[in-house]
Structure 1
């Protein structure tokens, strides 16, 4: 039973609560202890003390005290509420929800508990539970607009659009007078209701609502865009034409407006002259408009395309616009346009003047136009669809000769060297570009990225340190982590992985994994903030974005790289839990050096912590900063020393497979991990998914054979039910053919593809380890379509076989790619 407090102690308890809310933790602890001296088993006071301890960073002590509080008073809603708050603080939302529900049973009328429960339910996507909570909150405070809007959102997210619309309509009917026009919350609610109507498919009703309730809406652009869209869907083309023209008058650079206008004007896709006339009209109306001149190039062909391209390119080159090629390169998907564009630029260079441009060239200055033309051609020959690196280098040198101080020109030169396969030279040239403008963050970032590609991690960190905050504890690396600079962590991790420093590689990839966790957790504050500010449409968009958060390319790339590292650790375990594979004495020395450095840093951090006086009222933010300083694994030694690498890899693999099921790389990585864990049914699922995406992919072919071998080898240990499932589902391998025949058939079918040949050779080696296939691998160098990346894969294959042909392959590859530094003997 709860103990009753005297009036003086009740006053002290109020002081405890206020002190917690005002972050006066020392004062709150003092007041709580005064109460507990006379009432040592007062559950509410114990709970509040636990909450304060948790805010001071004493999480374990707080949980222990909260459990004592519950033992003292199991029927106190305060104790259960605090218990839920503690679980919420450590991101254990499931347990927090259970605690909140207990608290709510004891105190059904508590608005605070109900709100905290609702926020966790939407965070966990428990839409039915969220709907129940929001109905209860609305019943308690039916005059509060946020509760009506939140209930509509709950119905919307649970899939009941009609009920969501009805909730908003019901609230509108309760208003005695319409809200003022400048009411932002009402304006957003009107647009949200309109989106609900449209999402149900009743376009006419949505248009009627837009033209009545949304007539004076504060989001004028959204109203105009939706009106044009609705009119187009309803087939009211004359009105839709006027609507799209009104939008183009507001923004003549928006491509979607042109597309909408052309569509509602019922212009045939073959009537190119009429379509072009629309763009010409706006080009004349808005002389500085780029879109009206650029977009016709998407659909024009032949001489008409050449004529418009000539005018457009001359105009852009005269102005010296650096992004001209970037704006046109997607036209290269059409082979005829790919031939016309560089010829137009070459004619511009040959003419030495602009004869077709409506705008005159700069008086007496032709160098700007010529340098821009050379720059365009350099990019053209550097582009993968029209690559000729020698010509690209020739033109970029000409451009640099005319404008030696151009950062863009030097950046492209560095990119050409990268495509040559010379990462060292590319890094050097990009550094020269950076030195031309040391105050430009973009070129600073590019220089650091190229240094990382050249495995110069320390140099890259120093480069980025020029733009990080000098006062950040931990230096540039800590600041880059604080800023969630994922491109750096990805590139740095891949650099360390290439060097065999698996500890630091995993450290970087884990940091990216944690950032995505932070992004998922950060949405928690927006569940209440968005309702409070009335930004409902943006809130719905955020919820949907968060649901597919981990299909982001940054996560996919980091996850695949981390899985690859774990696979290498599994296949060749690291000795002594150190970074890299212990093959040489130098590696061992490096590991000892890194471990010694890590030990010194840990001892230094402990000394600093002991010397520093602890402040009980210190804000939580400072406590987190201190924890970041006390990194108990700065070199990633513990990560690399894992005894269960495949289990650790699942942390990255599970969200990858869930959010990127159509990625063949994800399915291949899934197979690699699961087949090593002997989870054959799950591995088969990944294999079937990969085959559905691309049945002829080299890795798919290789995995079909590996799966068959693995299942046959472990046939006795596989559960009979699982064996039956595998037998019925695994139909990728023809029953009438042996593995060798199946492999030979694949090889003959893809004898011109280097990657497919390498895959078939791996399978041959797998089927017959004694076979000598080294010469066959070297033979792929003769293939005309062989890429630099595939050649590197062939070299790695020879190294894995410890082939005597490694040096021969390197010398032959170096002759084929003389400017690459990837085939040096030390590689």
Structure 2
């Protein structure tokens, strides 16, 4: 039984609880100490004091005090509940759930404990437990709609659509009167019920139910969209057509509605007989308003020949006459068709050459129209020749220079010129040009952001941070960088990390990539509050979308991009542990005099480092009371340079934090599988390494890295000093067949080489394997690597990768200089070959 307090202290204990709930922590501590003076072993009071200490940032003391409270009163549901709350605060949800379950043994019907338990069960996707907790809450408070809806959500997320629908239906039957039309919660619940029916596969019944509730639904657009989708799926095309036309009357720029209408009308873009009907359809919508863009742009995708030329000519003249800057981005997807790209290029070049009509469809020669049209045409051509599908940087430069001469204060023109320099490989000129563009409009956040990005690409980290500081709250803890962390500005952290990596500053690079992973952890934790918030606000469909999005959170490109590079850094640390302590000298290999000198130098550096650390701690203590806008005390970063991250003794274990989410959620990412193979091979987890190989093979059987890794894996397996376990060896024998166990690896590699004669990446992989199999081929590999620079499709990045191979092979300086000179002659603007 819980320890009982006298009446006076019991009243004080109730006040203590209120002080905690009202965040009046000082008063709460004072009340707790007042009770504990008379009853020093009262578990509930100790637990509440621990909860307040934890809220004040004293986590260790809180845990110690709560454990003492449990020792003094093991049968109190309050102490176990508080213990669970403490574990929850440190994100250890499994331990928190255990504590909550102990608390429920003491107080089976406590709604507070049940609620906290349910939220955690949903957070860790324990849907069976979530169903049970929500059922108990519903039985305790059946009059609350939230409890019924939450139970339906639990069944829905668990995949039990029938029971989820039944729960919602049962609640509706208990209503004595129909809710008002303005009841948002009821409106959302009815549409939510409709989506459950549809997801169960019963589209016919979903449509019937929707027709019953569509008129009373407050989310009219969603209801109409669902109706059109159901009708289309059921093959009721005439009704679907009417529904999509209604939607288009509401929003005639939404692409999905046009796609649905095409399907409803049974029109196919691959059928020549339907093309004319499609053309008429879009013309009818284009005529409804001169401002409509979608019905004029979409037909360009399915028209061809003269019809396409006429339509795109009219579209381009219309947009260029208006001076729409986004004209090129709006049509560049058409460049996938080489014929359409040629037509567009010819037309726009014709506009540039035609000085009489100035592109006006009516042959007008108005001065303002003429000037605007001329600039629009030149801007289009500059972007056209800068685009990857039609790249000619010399022509792009010519047109953009003409524009800048016409309007030297245009931000857009200078930004485009910076982009041209970037594609030419000249990061220095690109950064300088876009800095000039930024200075033309210092109030423009977008160009400021672009400027910082280009500076990072030029490895100007401090300068980029200074640029970003013009739009950050610099008085926050950590200054501009701290504010960027608080705002979760991932693109900046990612580019900053990559810039440090190019400079071989592995500590800072790893620090930034880890910050990206931390942000994704925060996003995962942030969903916790929405488990209850969405129920209170009645936004159930949005909540379900959020939960499903969270389940695939780490397949985001920002995460995979940071994770791959973080894993590569850890691989380098695993291969060369000395990299974690740059500049450290092996004293045992030095002569006595040199050793004494090195020891003296090391002692001075140690003293200097200790002084810097002392100053940092003093600064941290001075800032201990610094607070963010939300009033939360911010801690000083104890490892701003990432030095501690680099000093990990288990780099391959640390890499798993980044690797496992990628392999689980981004299995189609070949680079993720490539780095996964490297980690597992070094950890001697051969089956996992093989799984990465085969996964990469399923995505791209001709991937160059896959070829090199396959040969290495075959070599590794054949040269093991100890035999593999029988079952492991059997799986490898059956699954790993390329190259075959008895294959001549040199012949296998030569076959790959001949198969890809015009791909620099594939050739480099083959040369790498050839060197791996026979070190005596180094001279031949170096010569072949140099020849690969002549390939017409070779890129700057591939040339840099080749230079990396020369470093890996420890080639002579002359060989490197020849390679660099040849690359510099081909990519004359690329500063990486001239530095």
Normalising by the residue count of structure 2, what TM-score does the alignment of the two structures yield?
A: 0.94
- Give the whole-Å Cα distance in 1 for the aligned partners of 2:352 and 2:576: 57
User: 2:804 maps to what in 1?
Assistant: 796
User: 2:481 maps to what in 1?
Assistant: 477
Asked if structure 2 preserves the Cα contact closer than 8 Å seen for 1:311 and 1:356, the reply is: no
Asked if structure 1 preserves the Cα contact closer than 8 Å seen for 2:152 and 2:168, the reply is: yes
- Give the whole-Å Cα distance in 2 for the aligned partners of 1:532 and 1:515: 26
- Give the whole-Å Cα distance in 2 for the aligned partners of 1:753 and 1:592: 52
- Give the whole-Å Cα distance in 2 for the aligned partners of 1:603 and 1:312: 67
The worse-fitting range, judged by mean Cα deviation, of 497-506 and 352-361 is 352-361
Match of 1:821 among 804, 814, 831: 831
Give, in angstroms, the shift of residue 525 of structure 1: 0.2
Match of 2:734 among 725, 728, 732: 728
Deviations 1:141-180 (A, max 9, x none): 1110001111111110010111111111111111010000
Q: Where does 1:219-230 land on structure 2 (aligned, <5 Å)?
A: 219-230=219-230
Give, in angstroms, the shift of residue 441 of structure 1: 0.8
- Give the whole-Å Cα distance in 2 for the aligned partners of 1:609 and 1:338: 59
Deviations 1:53-84 (A, max 9, x none): 11111101111111111111111110100000
User: 2:205 maps to what in 1?
Assistant: 205
- Give the whole-Å Cα distance in 2 for the aligned partners of 1:354 and 1:581: 71
Kindly tell me: are residues 642 and 612 of structure 1, through their superposed partners in 2, closer, same or farther at Cα, counting changes over 3 Å?
closer
> SS of the residue aligned with 2:471?
coil
Give, in angstroms, the shift of residue 46 of structure 1: 1.0
Q: What RMSD in Å do the two structures reach over aligned CA positions?
A: 2.4
User: 1:760 maps to what in 2?
Assistant: 766
Is 1:641 the counterpart of 2:651 in the alignment?
A: no
Q: Where does 1:412-431 land on structure 2 (aligned, <5 Å)?
A: 412-431=416-435
Q: Where does 1:598-747 land on structure 2 (aligned, <5 Å)?
A: 602-608=613-619, 610=621, 622=631, 624-625=633-634, 627=635, 629=636, 631-716=637-722, 718-747=724-753
User: 1:34 maps to what in 2?
Assistant: 34
Q: Where does 1:344-423 land on structure 2 (aligned, <5 Å)?
A: 344-352=347-355, 353=357, 357=361, 363-423=367-427
User: 2:783 maps to what in 1?
Assistant: 775
User: 2:593 maps to what in 1?
Assistant: none
Match of 1:325 among 324, 328, 332: 328
> SS of the residue aligned with 1:438?
coil
> SS of the residue aligned with 2:739?
coil
- Give the whole-Å Cα distance in 2 for the aligned partners of 1:359 and 1:15: 84
Asked if structure 2 preserves the Cα contact closer than 8 Å seen for 1:75 and 1:106, the reply is: yes
User: 1:253 maps to what in 2?
Assistant: 253
Is 1:276 the counterpart of 2:279 in the alignment?
A: yes
- Give the whole-Å Cα distance in 2 for the aligned partners of 1:457 and 1:558: 17
- Give the whole-Å Cα distance in 2 for the aligned partners of 1:361 and 1:67: 87
Asked if structure 1 preserves the Cα contact closer than 8 Å seen for 2:114 and 2:133, the reply is: yes
- Give the whole-Å Cα distance in 1 for the aligned partners of 2:632 and 2:487: 18
Asked if structure 2 preserves the Cα contact closer than 8 Å seen for 1:702 and 1:759, the reply is: yes
User: 1:495 maps to what in 2?
Assistant: 499
Kindly tell me: are residues 188 and 600 of structure 1, through their superposed partners in 2, closer, same or farther at Cα, counting changes over 3 Å?
farther
> SS of the residue aligned with 2:648?
coil
Asked if structure 2 preserves the Cα contact closer than 8 Å seen for 1:56 and 1:619, the reply is: no
Deviations 1:665-712 (A, max 9, x none): 110010011111111111111011111111111100000111112222
- Give the whole-Å Cα distance in 1 for the aligned partners of 2:645 and 2:678: 20
> SS of the residue aligned with 1:465?
helix
Deviations 1:545-578 (A, max 9, x none): 0000000000000001111111222223335724
- Give the whole-Å Cα distance in 2 for the aligned partners of 1:559 and 1:276: 47
Give, in angstroms, the shift of residue 544 of structure 1: 0.3
Asked if structure 2 preserves the Cα contact closer than 8 Å seen for 1:378 and 1:395, the reply is: yes
User: 1:466 maps to what in 2?
Assistant: 470
Kindly tell me: are residues 591 and 191 of structure 1, through their superposed partners in 2, closer, same or farther at Cα, counting changes over 3 Å?
farther
Give, in angstroms, the shift of residue 379 of structure 1: 1.2
Asked if structure 2 preserves the Cα contact closer than 8 Å seen for 1:320 and 1:372, the reply is: yes
Asked if structure 1 preserves the Cα contact closer than 8 Å seen for 2:821 and 2:833, the reply is: yes
Kindly tell me: are residues 260 and 601 of structure 1, through their superposed partners in 2, closer, same or farther at Cα, counting changes over 3 Å?
farther
Asked if structure 2 preserves the Cα contact closer than 8 Å seen for 1:252 and 1:289, the reply is: yes
User: 1:61 maps to what in 2?
Assistant: 61
- Give the whole-Å Cα distance in 1 for the aligned partners of 2:121 and 2:293: 48
- Larger relative CO (CA 8 A, sep 6+): 1 or 2? 1
Deviations 1:162-201 (A, max 9, x none): 1111111111111010000000000100110111111122
Q: Where does 1:502-651 land on structure 2 (aligned, <5 Å)?
A: 502-574=506-578, 577-578=581-582, 602-608=613-619, 610=621, 622=631, 624-625=633-634, 627=635, 629=636, 631-651=637-657
Kindly tell me: are residues 591 and 218 of structure 1, through their superposed partners in 2, closer, same or farther at Cα, counting changes over 3 Å?
farther
Aligned length in residues: 814
The worse-fitting range, judged by mean Cα deviation, of 274-283 and 773-782 is 773-782
The worse-fitting range, judged by mean Cα deviation, of 85-94 and 356-365 is 356-365
User: 1:342 maps to what in 2?
Assistant: 345
Match of 1:786 among 785, 794, 799: 794
Give, in angstroms, the shift of residue 372 of structure 1: 1.1
Give, in angstroms, the shift of residue 580 of structure 1: 11
User: 1:49 maps to what in 2?
Assistant: 49
Kindly tell me: are residues 662 and 105 of structure 1, through their superposed partners in 2, closer, same or farther at Cα, counting changes over 3 Å?
same
- Give the whole-Å Cα distance in 2 for the aligned partners of 1:738 and 1:344: 56
The worse-fitting range, judged by mean Cα deviation, of 451-460 and 33-42 is 33-42
Kindly tell me: are residues 137 and 427 of structure 1, through their superposed partners in 2, closer, same or farther at Cα, counting changes over 3 Å?
same
Give, in angstroms, the shift of residue 623 of structure 1: 5.2
Kindly tell me: are residues 457 and 362 of structure 1, through their superposed partners in 2, closer, same or farther at Cα, counting changes over 3 Å?
farther
Kindly tell me: are residues 620 and 820 of structure 1, through their superposed partners in 2, closer, same or farther at Cα, counting changes over 3 Å?
closer
Any unmatched runs of 5+ in structure 1? Answer: 583-587
> SS of the residue aligned with 1:646?
helix
Kindly tell me: are residues 131 and 449 of structure 1, through their superposed partners in 2, closer, same or farther at Cα, counting changes over 3 Å?
same
- Give the whole-Å Cα distance in 2 for the aligned partners of 1:702 and 1:31: 69
Kindly tell me: are residues 58 and 377 of structure 1, through their superposed partners in 2, closer, same or farther at Cα, counting changes over 3 Å?
same
The worse-fitting range, judged by mean Cα deviation, of 248-257 and 529-538 is 248-257
- Give the whole-Å Cα distance in 1 for the aligned partners of 2:248 and 2:603: 66
Kindly tell me: are residues 481 and 611 of structure 1, through their superposed partners in 2, closer, same or farther at Cα, counting changes over 3 Å?
closer
Is 1:13 the counterpart of 2:13 in the alignment?
A: yes
The worse-fitting range, judged by mean Cα deviation, of 540-549 and 674-683 is 674-683
Is 1:73 the counterpart of 2:73 in the alignment?
A: yes
- Give the whole-Å Cα distance in 2 for the aligned partners of 1:430 and 1:609: 37
Asked if structure 1 preserves the Cα contact closer than 8 Å seen for 2:80 and 2:99, the reply is: yes
- Give the whole-Å Cα distance in 2 for the aligned partners of 1:117 and 1:560: 36
Kindly tell me: are residues 476 and 268 of structure 1, through their superposed partners in 2, closer, same or farther at Cα, counting changes over 3 Å?
closer
Any unmatched runs of 5+ in structure 2? Answer: 587-598
Give, in angstroms, the shift of residue 311 of structure 1: 0.5
Kindly tell me: are residues 599 and 437 of structure 1, through their superposed partners in 2, closer, same or farther at Cα, counting changes over 3 Å?
farther
Kindly tell me: are residues 579 and 420 of structure 1, through their superposed partners in 2, closer, same or farther at Cα, counting changes over 3 Å?
farther
> SS of the residue aligned with 2:470?
coil
- Give the whole-Å Cα distance in 2 for the aligned partners of 1:581 and 1:275: 74
Give, in angstroms, the shift of residue 356 of structure 1: 6.0
- Give the whole-Å Cα distance in 2 for the aligned partners of 1:576 and 1:298: 54
- Give the whole-Å Cα distance in 1 for the aligned partners of 2:209 and 2:268: 32
Give, in angstroms, the shift of residue 776 of structure 1: 1.9
Asked if structure 2 preserves the Cα contact closer than 8 Å seen for 1:190 and 1:214, the reply is: no
User: 1:88 maps to what in 2?
Assistant: 88
User: 2:110 maps to what in 1?
Assistant: 110
Kindly tell me: are residues 610 and 309 of structure 1, through their superposed partners in 2, closer, same or farther at Cα, counting changes over 3 Å?
closer
Normalising by the residue count of structure 1, what TM-score does the alignment of the two structures yield?
A: 0.95
- Give the whole-Å Cα distance in 1 for the aligned partners of 2:149 and 2:133: 13
User: 1:585 maps to what in 2?
Assistant: none
